[in-house]
């Protein structure tokens, strides 16, 4: 609807003889009596052209009012226009919801392949709620693009190489070696967390014979690295399953190195003149960093053979494109912010268009309990795992909602007490209850359908346009009804906007608003009554709400229950 209004405004401005300004707004007014939409376009034109805003407004409003979709237009002070649409537009879109049902807002199938990579936490321990934040975000982004018709794949990138993995392996080995050498010192920058000792003990018990047959310390450390990775990756998979997150692909950093893909990526950069040898190491020569101030731009270390995480990451993204993906979306933790400039420069150097790669960052999260919040870190073990949060009574859907409802660029405190609350204070409970209440209304109606006629029965089953045409939407005059149906039809535009700006929190916020408007409607408007025509109209509105709410929740990865 907003796009329609935008076209009407632009056409009116052109007819009035003015050039279209770039940055004008079209907003929903705070009060219904101020119209369906408001625009400041004439104020922008007046400032640019140095003309009287009132005169410009009068010229443009005359043209807007001539559009067949417009009910009326009001001038709201100099430079502002309030626009009222004809109700038939809304009723037409309500019918589209009832026809589309579960497909309302869904895009047509496209050939464009989208790869969403998310979570990808270092496999040095279980998921804590800090690095698990990327799970619901990435899953919702993937669900959104799938809903809009793209061919979507979900991927986890396993960083199973590098210094952190070596430190993790040495920490595991330490608890084995210490039994025969009590004086042995814990490795510098190791992982002193209790779970590491527990994991080491488990490996020693499960693989006792294998360990006894290994004599060299270096081989033992490699063995503990391999077994430690197996255990942690298995745990991460199980943790993701706890909240219903599953991946299509698990890609390993080690495979990039062993397959020669990292060497190939470095060779491509060399051929393009984007490398430089310095201090015995090979660097990526970032045009934006001619002095090589960024110490993380090294591709091959000074030993002449060890490749860096940066080199592997370049190879990984080349591989993504070579696997046929057209659009890459990465969900990264805030600790990767410093990696972005060099990463973007490397992709540009290799000729990949900027609009093919989208990076979303999520900030840290703290657990809040009894009014107190605390941060987490994996190496020292001072963290709360995702599993602990779920097993404490937080439903997976509640965890997802609380994560998604926050701007991912904003740090936030996860309120454990609110998330486990099963009253209307908990927003996800409030939303789910709206859907369950709708299903209850439908069931209640169905019990008496034999004496209430077939048309509504067919409508509730969504069998087609013939029955929907019988609905007289003009009977929906109550302000609560009007507010609800005007919100429902915003759903496709909200999805389109989020697919562009990636403000994923808009979808759970929208779900909550629809739920609130429905609860208000239910409290003020009797759905089932002796008035068959009014009952049909209100049931149609209820059913449209069900479809939109269920679709929005499905994108968030949240269940829409029929009973509560």
pLDDT in tens, 123-152: 999 998 888 999 999 999 999 999 999 999
Per-residue confidence (pLDDT) for residue 465, from 0 to 100: 40
Per-residue confidence (pLDDT) for residue 142, from 0 to 100: 98
Tokens of 377: 């870190």
Burial 421-431 (b: 16+ CB within 10 A, else e): beeeebbbbbb
The stretches of 288-395 forming alpha helices (DSSP H) are 309-322, 340-349, 386-391
> Quick check: 2 pLDDT over 60?
yes
Tokens of 330: 């990465």
The CA-based angle 537-563-388, given to 5 degrees, is: 135
Give the C-alpha separation, 317 to 269, whole Å: 14
Coil, strand, or helix at residue 152? strand
Mean pLDDT value across residues 459-482 = 74
**Could you tell me the pTM of the whole model?**
0.90
| pLDDT, the chain, mean | 90
Q: Which helix (H) or strand (E) covers residue 332, if one does?
A: strand 327-333
Other CB atoms within a 10 A radius of the CB of residue 338 amount to 11
> Quick check: 302 pLDDT over 50?
yes
Which one, of 106, 109, 131, lies nearest residue 120 by Cα? 131
Give the C-alpha separation, 488 to 481, whole Å: 11
- In sequence order, the 6+-apart residues with CB closer than 8 A to the CB of 351 are none
Per-residue confidence (pLDDT) for residue 143, from 0 to 100: 98
Mean pLDDT value across residues 551-564 = 95
Give the C-alpha separation, 167 to 188, whole Å: 8
Q: Which residue has the higher pLDDT, 281 or 372?
A: 281
> Quick check: 454 pLDDT over 60?
no
Q: Strand 70-75 and strand 26-27: pairing?
A: unpaired
Share of the chain above pLDDT 90, in %: 68
Give the C-alpha separation, 416 to 422, whole Å: 12
Least confident residue range of 20-34, 98-112, 283-297, 511-525: 283-297
Q: Which residue has the higher pLDDT, 374 or 260?
A: 260
Residue range 512-539, pLDDT digits in tens: 999 999 999 999 999 989 998 998 899 9
Share of the chain above pLDDT 70, in %: 93
- In sequence order, the 6+-apart residues with CB closer than 8 A to the CB of 336 are 361
């Amino acid at each position: 609807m907003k796009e329609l209004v935008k076209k009407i405004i632009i056409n009116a401005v052109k007819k009035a003889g003015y050039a279209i300004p770039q940055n004008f707004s079209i907003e929903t007014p705070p009060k219904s009596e101020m119209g369906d939409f408001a625009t400041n376009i004439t104020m922008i034109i007046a400032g640019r052209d140095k003309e009287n805003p009132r005169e410009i407004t009068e010229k443009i409003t005359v043209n807007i009012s001539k559009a067949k979709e417009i009910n009326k237009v009001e001038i709201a002070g100099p430079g502002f226009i309030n626009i009222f649409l004809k109700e038939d537009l809304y009723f037409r879109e309500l019918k589209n919801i009832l026809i589309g049902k579960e497909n309302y807002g869904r895009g047509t199938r496209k050939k464009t392949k989208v790869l969403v990579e998310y979570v990808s936490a270092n496999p040095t321990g279980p998921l804590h709620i800090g690095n698990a934040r990327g799970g619901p975000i990435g899953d919702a982004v993937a669900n959104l693009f799938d809903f809009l018709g793209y061919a979507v794949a979900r991927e986890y990138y396993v960083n199973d190489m590098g210094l952190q993995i070596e430190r993790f392996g040495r920490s595991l080995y330490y608890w084995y070696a210490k039994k025969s050498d009590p004086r042995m010192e814990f490795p510098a920058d190791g992982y002193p967390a209790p779970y590491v000792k527990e994991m080491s003990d488990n490996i020693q018990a499960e693989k006792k014979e294998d360990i006894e047959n290994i004599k060299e310390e270096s081989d033992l450390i490699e063995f503990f690295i391999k077994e430690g990775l197996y255990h942690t990756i298995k745990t991460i998979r199980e943790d993701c399953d706890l909240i219903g997150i599953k991946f299509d692909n698990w890609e390993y950093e080690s495979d990039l190195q062993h397959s020669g893909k990292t060497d190939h990526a470095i060779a491509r950069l060399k051929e393009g003149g984007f490398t430089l040898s310095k201090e015995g190491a090979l660097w990526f020569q970032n045009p934006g960093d001619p002095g090589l101030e960024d110490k993380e731009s090294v591709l091959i270390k000074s030993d002449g053979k060890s490749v860096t995480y940066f080199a592997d990451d370049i190879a990984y993204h080349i591989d993504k494109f070579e696997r046929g993906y057209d659009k890459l979306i990465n969900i990264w933790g805030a600790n990767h912010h410093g990696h972005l400039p060099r990463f973007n420069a490397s992709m540009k150097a290799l000729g990949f268009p900027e609009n093919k790669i989208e990076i979303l960052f999520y900030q840290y999260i703290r657990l809040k309990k009894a009014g107190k919040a605390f941060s987490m870190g994996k190496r020292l073990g001072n963290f709360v795992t995702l599993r602990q949060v779920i097993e404490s009574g937080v439903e997976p859907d509640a965890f997802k909602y609380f994560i998604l409802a926050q701007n991912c660029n904003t740090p936030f405190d996860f309120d454990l007490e609110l998330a486990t609350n099963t009253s209307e204070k908990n927003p996800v409970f409030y939303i789910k209850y709206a859907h369950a209440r709708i299903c209850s209304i439908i069931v209640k109606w169905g019990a008496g359908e034999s004496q209430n006629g077939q048309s509504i029965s067919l409508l509730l089953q969504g069998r087609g346009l013939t029955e929907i045409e019988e609905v007289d939407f003009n009977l929906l005059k109550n302000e609560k009804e009007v507010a609800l149906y005007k919100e429902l039809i915003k759903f496709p535009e909200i999805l389109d906007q989020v697919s562009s700006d990636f403000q994923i929190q808009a979808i759970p916020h929208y779900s909550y608003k629809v739920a609130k408007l429905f609860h208000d409607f239910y409290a003020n408007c009797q759905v089932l009554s002796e008035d068959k025509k009014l009952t049909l109209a209100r049931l149609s509105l209820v059913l449209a709400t069900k479809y939109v709410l269920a679709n929005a929740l499905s994108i968030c990865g949240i269940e829409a229950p029929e009973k509560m």
